[in-house]
Structures are given as structure tokens and as C-alpha cells.
A and B are shown apart, each in its own frame.
Chain A
């Protein structure tokens, strides 16, 4: 026993020395680790940010926005609003500048940018610029287009946000970041020595363990780590005292213990063994052993309790995972390597709800066979592998790729077949042996539907584009937002019509087709319509590239944006030179016929009329009869030519009207007077009503007299022998400012069949009475056209056997 004392003393000294050194080493190691971690983190953060900025400077949208600042007007500010600088901070701002230094877009309007010559000179030379100091951080990346810097992306942190950006954490040491002048940019939050904004002073840390290293390529930043030495040595001193106490207690204890051990150990072991049995049989994990007597057995106690804790934790986390698994909205299957389904979650089960069918035993039974075969072909092609059966295809690929996704259709509830994305992840044990797969199934039916719709839309667009390319009307689209509205699209027909190539059209204004003889009034009309953003259709004399003139029927239609502003003009052009020529020929024909046909006809008709009138008493009856036939027919021919000419004029829009204010009664009386002789021929009397309103109508008198004359002669023709025709008028029958003139006969009425076509060309009522079928069939057609040209209306009421009334509504003055 006395020998033990010096032995223990020596042991104590050795232990003390060893501990001291170990702790010192440990401390240094800790500081080194933390320091290098912090150093690496900051370095990474800076280079990630630089890389991010560089990528952004090459982003197509941003580059385009410098080329086409107008077009970028909408999307670039939107893009910048959503930009977030990578890293832990939220205060970094990013700005897009053009080559003159004007800010085009930013994600933070408030961040002020100090322009200084340094970075501008650098960026103008196409070089990257970076500076970090007490003013903050500036990174400036030039945006290069065709080798020239056209703009700059600038990333900014002010002093406050920079501290956030430089934030690194530590446990056993304090960390500081300073700029090149020793100005503190970041300090660990849990110390009271220094704060951001002060100068870093090394004298404070005289007896501390310090590590220092530059960060950043320009060595502008310095990372400092510091730990008090005495923290570690305090620990060593504590150990010293503990050891002395321990030795004294040990001497006393050893003797006492030895005697007790014999008895206690047996009891304790029995206790532990009992508890283990309880744990095994009852699975009661909450039970703990309590051993307080023997120190050496404390380890045993701890081991047991730790085992129990661990088992309990495992059980709890298993419950968590089960809950999570079942609660997942995504169907999940856990299968063995051969596809045997081991577990499914609620969502997977719900695929089979409302059906009698059970979940299949093997996963591959659910996959549509066709899809498997399709993938099998791919397998053979790509991997030169032929799986023994189709079901293996999917698992083969999953094994090959560790995690594999493919689109397949599953047969689920009620035999529904729906497309899914199946994702299989291999499960491996600690020996890397495959134990199964976890398969999730994402329903992509909606997505498929959308894809299909997009395809249909695309197809439609193609069709429309094709149609535009095929039609023989020239189609152009002009950009209405640019000053001269340049053409941005034209089809083949337009190139043919204008005689120009695509490159001679795009970018030019539509006016290039106008020339020397183009009517300035039409050009004026066009530019007015464009200024007012109206649609317009004109006939304009245009010129092909070779100078050949052609008539262009041009219609322009504005396309407005959602905000009502002009976006595009769509122009439709039609070469109507040929049509114009035919129209001119027709016009000439009409005037020729008008003169050349009517003049001789007048002579014939006049001569026959004179003979008939003057010499009839001297003539034998037969000759008289022949003469009267000739006269009647020449008269009919005269009417026919007149009516045909009127019809032609009306249809060609050549009939001119000269409206003036006229007294209604005057016109009615004059019309009746002109037809009195005709009426007498049929023994019919025209009776003008007493109450014709005293009103004036704004009409071409000759034409309206022609209308009344036509209706009166019709009425006379279809009246009964010795009948009468009533002429009346009333104000405001169809509208307040209209007068309705009615002409009523008491004849046979108009048959249903004829009513339908009464106003069409060459319509004549079938009649057994030859005397009455003498008109040209054009009278009512011309009448209707003339009335409509006066903004009037014509209609009739008829009753078989009782007669017919024709109404004309004309606007009053």
C-alpha cells in the first residue's frame, strides 16, 4: 500500500502533462478548423456571387434589352424585380446600366450607386471590376455585345447589408472580417470587443490565439479568428485540482469498496438482468435502471439506459416516417427487387378504390403492357440488353441509374388507364446489395391534356400561317409602335403584287408603293386613318418595283393591345387592275348602248307612232293591225332598253341622284298626271286622297316620279276594268320623320309564289291575260333600288281577289 503513493504521484504528473498538451493541441486544431471553414465559406460565397453576376450578364433577355431597349420595356423591370442575389442576405441590389451609365432596371430603387471613374473605366474596357471596403461591395460585370461593352450589371451591398453577406459562424473562436485598411466589416455577434464600423486593433488580442488570412483575389479582405488562451488553461488547472482530490478519495475509497463489492455486485447484476428481461418481454422502453452504490457499475447503468433511449427514439421516428408515408399525396410503392409489392401508402391504395380488384402482387402487373414493350425496344437498342420479361425492363433501368424516371400508363381503378411519371429509387443495404425499390407515381393526365391542346394550337397556327402564305391577297403586318410603321411581315402574294423581294419590303413603310400619279387625297385619307387608328379600305394607284402602275384595293386594320394602344396594322392588298379595266369597259358599254341603241329606237318608235296616229283612217284594217303591233313592240323595246340601262347604272353605282326639297303633293300630282293617259287605256281612274300631308321630301324629283309612275302604271295594269287606284299619304307611320305614300288597286292581288320574288330582276306575274304581260320585269327592281337609294323603304300588302297596296316610306325634310 505505501508503494502506491509515489506510483500514483508519478502517474498524476504524467497525466497532467499529457492532458495539458492534448488540450493545447485540441484548441489549436479547433481554431484551425473553424478558421479554414470560415475562409472557405467566404471565398465560395464571393466566387458564387461573381459567377452568378457573370451568368446574368450573358442572359439573352438582358443582352437583348440593350439591343432593343423599347421591346424590353415590359419584361426587363419585371425580371429585375424578381432577381435575388445568392447567399444568406436579402439586401443586395442589382442594377442594369446602359453604356452611358443610365440605370435601365433594378431590383432596389433605393440603393444609391456612387459612380466613380475607377470602375467605369474598367468596365468600359470590357473588364470585370470589384471592390470591397467600408463603403460596401461593388461588383461590376460588363455586358459584351459583338465584342464591345454595351452595358453593365452592377451588384451593390452597402455597409449594413455587407455584414450580412459576410456572415460566418464559429463556436470556439471569434471571427472578424476587415477591409484592406483594417476597417471591420463583420464581427462575430457573441463578443463585446469589436463592432462593425470600428478599426480592428491587434493589441487587444496580445495573449490570444490568432489566425489571419486574406480572402478574395484582390486581398482586399482579411479574415481574423481569435480565441483566449486562458480558456484552455483554465480547463487544465481545473483538471489539476480534480486529480488531487480524486487521488485522496481513491485511497479512502479503495479499502471501503473492496469489502462491499463482493456483496453488491451480485445484487446489481441480478437487477440488470431482470430489467433486460423486462425490456425483452414487455417492450417497455420507459423503464430505467437506478444504480447508485457502486461507481464502476455506473458504466453498466449508462449503457443500458442509452440502449433503451435509442430504441425508444427509433420507435418514435419510425412512427413519424409511417405517418409521413401514409400522408403523402403521391402514391408510393415499396417493392422487392423482383417487383413484389411490400408496402403501399394511402394514396397508392386509393388508386384501387371503388373497385373489386385488389392491388396486384407484383408492381409490373399494373403497367400497361404496350408501354413496357416500347421501353424494352429502347433497352435493346441502347443497352444491348434483353430483359427476360417485360416487367424487368423498368427495374433494370432503375438499377442501372440508381434513380430512374419514365412515363408509363398504369391500369388502376375500374381498369382506368392513366399516364404517370414513375420514379424508382433503388434501396441498398450497408453491403451495397439491392434490397428493393421505392416507386412514386405522379399523375400527368392534366399535363398530357395541356400538351395535346398546345399541339392542337400549334397545328392551327401552322394551318393559318399556311393559309396566309397560299392566298393570292397580299398580307402585310406593320409594327404600329414604331414611328414609320415598318412592315415586319409579308406573304408571297404581297411580294408578287409589289414586285419586290422580302428584303426590299421588311423594315420599310407601306408608302413605298405610292408614286407620281397616286391620288394625294387617297394618301391623305390613309394617313388620317392611321393617325386615328381606324380601319380603312381604299382603292389606290400603286407602283411595282419596275415602275408598272396597278390598282390596289388596300384595307388596313389596326390590332390593339390589351391597354388599347396600337400594336400592329394588318394590311390586305388586292391587285384590282383587271377588275378596274372591266369596270371601265362596262361603263363605256353602258354609255354606248345608251346613245347608239336609244337614238335609232326613238326614230323607229316616233315614226311608227306618227303613222299610227295620223294616217290610221286611210289604212286597210289588216295593215292597221300590223302597224299597231309594230308600234306596241317598238314601245316595249324602248322601255326594256331604258330599264336595262337603269338597272346597269344602279348596279354599277353609276346612277347619280340630285336630291332637293320638293313638295310631296306636287310630286304625287305630277306623277298621276303623267300616267293619266296610260290609266285611261285600261279604263282606270287615279284618285288622290284629300288628306295628303303638307310636307316636303328631300329627293331626286325625276327618279321619285319614275317610282310613282311605275307603281301607278302597275296598279292600272292590274286593276279590274273601270276600276280605281287610290293614292294616299300619312306621316310617321314607320318613323317620326318619314312619310308613307300608299298606292292601292282593287285587282286580283299577288299570288303567294310571286310575292316572294316580286322585287327581283325579270320577275313577272303569270297571267292568262296576255294584255297584262307587257312589262320588262325590271320595274319593281329599279323602283326598290331607287327608293333605297333615298334611304327609304318599299313594301306591299295584298289579298287575293281584293287588291294590293304598295307602301313607300321616304324621309321628310
Chain B
């Protein structure tokens, strides 16, 4: 994908993790970051955005109450806006065994980042996956 990675939407129910993630990606990676505490809020945000304001990448936590990662992914793929529905999505999960990773990739994820992430290397990992898309 030739597109430059500029804006990232992160979705995580844990406030601290979400904030640190956003901070790390902002400060170390130099990305613009929007973060949402639940799948529903993220969907609302995407639904209310114009195509020009849409993020380039979504980083989605797998384990969340109410609407979990895979469900959120499904919902995003079914959004009316085609641009929104086609945004690449990466998962973050504590269960990063091979079979689980495979399952998530099969759902249509661009990549999987193991949790807990290393603050120092997170931006590098994200960029690496992005370049592989």
C-alpha cells in the first residue's frame, strides 16, 4: 500500500492502556491518534466522519465488554461508507498463540500485535505491519 500512514484510531476499554498507546504512537511514531473506549463509540465516530477525515489504520483490542474486537471488526466492515469499511485493522491481544493469530487474520485483520505491548517498540511494530500490507 502506497498510502502514507498518518492517522490511527485505537480502540481499547482500558483507559490507561489506551492513553499510553495513543501517547506512544503520537510521540514516538509521530502519528495522529484518535482513541475510543468501546467498539460502539468507534463505530459512531467512523459513521460521523467524512471520507477525508477517516483514519488510515484502526488498532482494535480483542477482549472488550459488550462488543468485542471481532464483533467490532464485523460491524466496521458493514459500514455504509465503503472507505470506512475498507480501513485496515490490526488486533491487539494477550492471546497471541499461533492458532488465535490465524483465526484473527482469517477474520480479515492486517496483523496482530501482542499484548502487553512494549512502549518503546510499538510504533516500529505498527509501521512494520503497515508496510507489509
Contacts and interface: CB of A to CB of B under 8 A. Distances in A.
A502 B80 CA distance: 73
Given A599-B116, A602-B17, A609-B119, A656 B28 contact: no
Contact of A603 (B20, B28, B97, B120): B20
B14 to A, nearest CB: 6
Contacts of B17: 599, 602-603
Interface in A137-168: none
Contacts of A702: 96-98
A600 B24 CA distance: 16
Interface in A548-594: 594
Contacts of A638: 116
Given A599-B17, A603-B16, A603-B20, A613 B120 contact: yes
What range describes how many residues of B lie at the interface? 10 to 19
A595 B98 CA distance: 19
Contacts of A613: 28, 120
Given A594-B94, A613-B120, A606 B14 contact: no
Nearest to B114: A702
Contacts, number: 49
B3 to A, nearest CB: 26
A610 interface: yes
A658 B97 contact: yes
Given A656-B97, A660-B98, A610 B16 contact: no
A601 B120 CA distance: 14
A598 B24 contact: no
Contact of A658 (B16, B28, B99): B99
B23 A610 contact: yes
Contacts of A658: 97-99
Contact of B116 (A602, A609, A656, A700): A602
B25 to A, nearest CB: 11
A39 interface: no
B94 to A, nearest CB: 7
Nearest to A700: B98
Contacts of A614: 27-28
B119 A600 contact: no
A605 interface: yes
Contacts of B16: 600, 603
B98 A610 contact: no
Contacts of B27: 610, 614
Contacts of A595: 94
Interface in B13-60: 14, 16-17, 20, 23-24, 27-28
A607 interface: yes
Nearest to A605: B119
Central interface residue in A601, A602, A656, A701, by most chain B CB within 10 Å: A602
Central interface residue in B23, B28, B94, B119, by most chain A CB within 10 Å: B119
B67 to A, nearest CB: 19
Contacts of B99: 658
Interface string B86-110: 0000000010111100000000000
A658 B97 CA distance: 7
Contacts of B119: 602, 605-607, 609-610
8 contacts: A594-B94, A598-B94, A602-B119, A606-B24, A606-B119, A610-B28, A613-B28, A701-B98
Interface of A: 594-595, 598-603, 605-607, 609-610, 613-614, 638, 656, 658, 660, 700-702
The 4 closest A-B pairs by CB, nearest first: A602-B116, A606-B119, A658-B98, A603-B16
